[in-house]
Amino acid sequence: MHKLIFILFLSFLISCKNKTVKIKPIVSAISESVYASGTIKSNQQYQAFATANGTIQTIYVQEGDSVKIGTPVLLIANELQQLNTNNAALTARFNEVGANQGKLNDAKQLIAFQNNKMKNDSILLIRQQNLWKQNIGTKVELEQRELAYENSTLTYKSAVIKYNDLKKQLDFMALQSKTNLEISQKQAGDFTLKSEVNGVVYKLYKEKGEAVNSQTPLALIGNNNQFTLEMQVDEYDIFKIKNGLKVLITMDSYKDKVFEAKVYNISPMMNERSKTFLVKASFVNPPEKLYPFVSFEANIVIQTKQKALLIPRNLLLNDSTVVKSNDEKVVIKTGLKDYQMVEILSGINANDELINPIK
């Protein structure tokens, strides 16, 4: 009895094994797409670097704070720069024209004195000349008056020249000192890191008291209202990609949801290490909340057909042949493909029954 049951069970298994599943093509929609993975980045996102060496003295913001263009983020202390600024301020005050007004007044008084002396020598010369015309006085006295007038005239002109030179020098020194102070203040201002965009402080890389230099990133800042999808596309697929293509996005952060985006930028330079191209897309309707560096998977839709003759891809033999239910092999021409189905352009029709070529 047990032997009979075993024989019947074995016969059942053999009959199931020999039974072949027959599949007919179906007419349905299909889309060909290129797979890509990537990360989300905030628009205008950038790493803010220190512009000078020093130590972080004050941090004005916290991670998550909103900032505007010019908002101070942190202050870098540098004692030498502060001393240079103080010294420039002292020099500027010392060289101000108002602070040297006494020197100008002295020079003006000297001009007035020499002018009066020149006028007086002129009067005495005229008198001596009149006396000489009346044969009064000596030739020596006349020559002395002429020499005195010439000397006082030269001295007056020299005083005027010295005054003008002094004023130019003081004006130059005052302007130069003011400029040096502005340069020093500008350099001191470089020690205050300010936001370059309207957005959010996503990350602070350093803490108060830490030493930094010009190669040190201090903060990650970006626009929190607009985000960019950056994808890496294999060189094999890049020539299929063009601006305006639809992109279907899935994220672990939003499970069971698919978001639509559109390609707007394709980098012309390949990453030689990964053999990929950077492709950027923007959301059509973005999620309610996003953060930089969130990862995602994308399918860039290349073509779509609403009505196509389709069969499962596992029915293909060498990507060009199918097997009918009567074991006849037929060469077919394929069209669009996705991960599961392939479009049949010619070779079979919707009434043909196919079997899996691998038994």
- Mean confidence (pLDDT) of the chain: 82
Residues 31 and 72 both lie in one domain: no
Residue labelled with tokens 């639509």: 260
The mean pLDDT value for 197-207 works out to 90
Q: 12-21, 172-181, 230-239, 255-264 — which is least confidently predicted?
A: 12-21
pLDDT at res. 2: 36
Q: Is the pLDDT of residue 16 over 50?
A: no
Q: Are residues 346 and 286 in the same domain?
A: yes
Q: Would residue 15 count as lying in a domain? A: no
pLDDT of residue 3: 40
Q: Are residues 179 and 317 in the same domain?
A: no
pLDDT band for 238, please (50, 70, 90 cuts): very high
Q: What is the structure's pLDDT at 280?
A: 95
The whole-angstrom separation of Cα 185 and Cα 191 is 10
Q: Which domain holds residue 92?
A: 81-189
pLDDT of residue 228: 93
* Residue 99: pLDDT over 80: no
Q: Quick one: pLDDT band at residue 231, thresholds 50, 70, 90?
A: very high
* CATH code (residue 323): 2.40.30.170
Contacts of 40 (CB under 8 A, 6+ apart): 227, 228, 229, 230, 290, 291, 292, 293, 294, 295, 296
**Do both 91 and 160 map to the same domain?**
yes
Alpha carbon distance 186, 209 (integer Å): 23
Is there a domain that residue 263 lies in? Answer: yes
Q: In what order do the strands lie in the sheet with 354-355?
A: 329-331, 321-324, 354-355
* Same-domain pairing of 63 and 207: yes
Spatial distance between the Cα atoms of 340 and 26, rounded to a whole number of angstroms: 13
Arithmetic mean of pLDDT, 66-73: 91
pLDDT tens-place string over residues 331-358: 888 888 777 888 888 888 888 888 887 7
pLDDT value for 326: 87
Q: How many domains does the chain have?
A: 3
pLDDT value of residue 17: 44
| Residues 65 and 146 placed together within one structural domain of the fold | no
Q: Residue 270 is encoded by which pair of tokens?
A: 């390949």
pTM of the model as a whole: 0.54
Residue 11 lies in a domain: no
pLDDT reported for residue 350: 87
CA distance 41 to 112: 75
